[in-house]
Amino acid sequence: MIKTAFYDAKEYDKPSFEHYGNPHDMQFRFLETKLNEDTVDLAKGCDAVCVFVNDTVNAAVIDRLYQHGVKIIALRSAGYNNVDVHAAFGKIHVVHVPAYSPYAVAEHAIALLLTSVRRIHKAYNRTREFNFSLNGLTGFDFHGKTVGVIGTGKIGRIFIDICRGFGMNVIAYDLYPAKDSDIEYVSLDELFGRSDIVSLHCPLTAETRHLIDASAIEKMKKGVVIVNTSRGGLIDAEALLEGIKARKVGAACLDVYEEEADIFFEDRSGHILNDDLLSRLISMPNVIVTSHQAFLTEEALNNIAETTVSNILSYFSNSGICDNELCYRCGHIEQCKKERKQRCF
C-alpha cells in the first residue's frame, strides 16, 4: 500500500483521487491544512505527499519530509514555483501535471474577459433587483481588437485560437516561441504598446516575477484590459492598482493574486479581510477577481487525479521512471536531457 499525505484537500478533490487511487491500493490521508514548516510532520509515515499551488515546499520542508522517509512530492498542478526543486534534488523526487485541461484555463480567461468588457456581472446584479437600465453597461467589440498574449504554451495557444474565432488580431511574446506556428511574435515592449488586451499565460519564474509592473503599464495603451489566469506574482498588484486609479488600465480580470495563499480557496465572507491591497482591488468597479478557479472543471479534476496517481505509481514501479518528473540536475527542469530513460538521481 502506498500512503500519501494529501495537503490542502478540498471536497471536490476527494472523489476523483479515490476513484483512480483505490484500484491500486493507494491510501490518501486527506488534510485540510496547507503544507508548511508547521504541518510537515503530518506526513510522517507516508511514502508520498500530494501538494497544490499554495503549499510551501521550501528547503526546510523538503529536509523534514526526507527525514520522514517521503520518497516523492506530487504536485497536482502544472506550476511548481512553490517548490524548491534545487533543494529536492538528490533527496526527494518531484513530479507535476503538465497539462490537465488547457481548455479550462483558456476558456475561463475568455469568460472573465467577456464578463468584464460586456458588464455581464453588473447587468446580472441589476436585473435581480428589477433594474433594467442600460446606463453604464456599454462595452466594446472584440472583433478587430489586438490581444497581446504573453506565453504561448498549450494554454496560451488555445486562448489564441479562441481569440481568432472572435476576429481579434493576435500578437505574442515568449522567450521560447512555438516552432512552425503562424503566431506573430513581437518584443515585450511592442506587445505592450499595441495591445488593447494583455493576457498572461506564462509560468512564474525569477525572470517573470512582476513582469507587469509600473514601467510595463506605462508603456501600454490607455484603457488596456489585463487578464491573468496564470500566477499572481506575474503582476505587481500595487502598480496595477495605481494604473487603475490613474485611468491607464481600463479593466483587470484576475483569477490569481500574489498573496493569495492564506485567502483563496476558503470562505472568508464572515471575516474582515486583512489584505488591504486585495480589498482595494476588489472594490474597483472595473476589476473582476475569481479565486483561482480557472482549472476547476470536471474534466480537469479527473485529468489531475489520473495523472497524479500515475506519477506516484510510476515512481514505485520497477523502472521508477516518470515522464513528468521535475529534475534540477541538467538545468532543463521539464525537459530532462536524460530523456526519461532513467531516474534523475
Q: Decide if 229 contacts 107 (C-beta within 8 A).
A: no
What's 229's DSSP letter? Answer: -
Answer yes or no: is 45 within a domain: yes
Q: Pick left, alpha or beta for residue 320 (phi over 0 → left; psi -120 to 50 → alpha; otherwise beta).
A: left
* Domains: count for the chain: 2
pTM comes to: 0.90
Q: Are residues 49 and 131 in the same domain?
A: no
Q: Any idea which residue has 514548516 for its cell?
A: 37
Domain endpoint, select from 240, 265, 289? 289
Answer yes or no: is 338 within a domain: no
Q: Residue 5: CB partners within 8 Å, gap ≥ 6?
A: 29, 31, 42, 43, 46, 48, 49, 50, 70
Q: How far is CA 217 from CA 166, 200, 214, 222, 280, in A?
A: 25, 14, 5, 9, 18
Q: Decide if 336 contacts 344 (C-beta within 8 A).
A: yes
The sheet with strand 2-6 has its strands ordered as 26-30, 2-6, 48-51, 72-75, 93-95, 325-326
Answer yes or no: is 340 within a domain: no
Q: Are residues 130 and 183 in the same domain?
A: yes
Q: Are residues 180 and 317 in the same domain?
A: no
Q: How far apart are CA 71 and CA 5, in angstroms?
A: 12
Which residue of the set 76, 93, 292, 325 is catalytic?
Answer: 292
The H or E element spanning position 3 is strand 2-6
Q: Any idea which residue has 525572470 for its cell?
A: 207
| Beta-strand pair 224-228/249-254 | parallel
Which residue of the set 96, 119, 157, 231 is catalytic?
Answer: 231
Q: Are residues 58 and 85 in the same domain?
A: yes
Answer yes or no: is 259 within a domain: yes
Answer yes or no: is 345 within a domain: no
* Tens digits of pLDDT across the chain (345 residues): 999 999 999 999 999 999 999 999 899 999 999 999 999 999 999 999 999 999 999 999 999 999 999 999 999 998 899 999 999 999 999 999 988 889 999 999 999 999 999 999 999 999 999 999 999 999 999 999 999 999 999 999 999 999 999 999 999 999 999 988 999 999 999 999 999 999 999 999 999 999 999 999 999 999 999 999 999 999 999 999 999 999 999 999 999 999 998 899 989 998 899 999 999 999 999 999 999 999 999 999 999 999 999 999 999 986 778 888 987 766 667 666 556 566 777
Which residue of the set 107, 258, 260, 325 is catalytic?
Answer: 260
Tell me, what's the pLDDT at 344? Answer: 73
Q: Are residues 274 and 242 in the same domain?
A: yes
Answer yes or no: is 316 within a domain: yes
Q: How far is CA 144 from CA 44, 54, 163, 183, in A?
A: 57, 38, 10, 16
Tell me, what's the pLDDT at 331? Answer: 61
Range of the domain at 259: 102-289
Q: Are residues 145 and 212 in the same domain?
A: yes
Q: Are residues 76 and 93 in the same domain?
A: yes
Tell me, what's the pLDDT at 330? Answer: 65
Q: Are residues 249 and 182 in the same domain?
A: yes
Q: Are residues 82 and 211 in the same domain?
A: no
Which of helix, strand or coil describes residue 230? coil
Which of helix, strand or coil describes residue 17? helix
Q: Is 292 tagged catalytic?
A: yes
Q: Is 260 tagged catalytic?
A: yes
Domain endpoint, select from 267, 289, 311? 289
Q: Is 157 tagged catalytic?
A: no
Q: Any idea which residue has 453597461 for its cell?
A: 137
Tell me, what's the pLDDT at 345? Answer: 75
Tell me, what's the pLDDT at 323? Answer: 82
Q: One-letter amino acid identity for 11? A: E
Q: Are residues 275 and 254 in the same domain?
A: yes
Q: Are residues 118 and 221 in the same domain?
A: yes
Partners of residue 287 on adjacent β-strands? 252
Answer yes or no: is 247 within a domain: yes
Q: Are residues 251 and 214 in the same domain?
A: yes
Which CATH number does the domain housing residue 273 bear? 3.40.50.720
Which of 83, 90, 98, 59 lies closest to 344 in space, CA to CA? 90
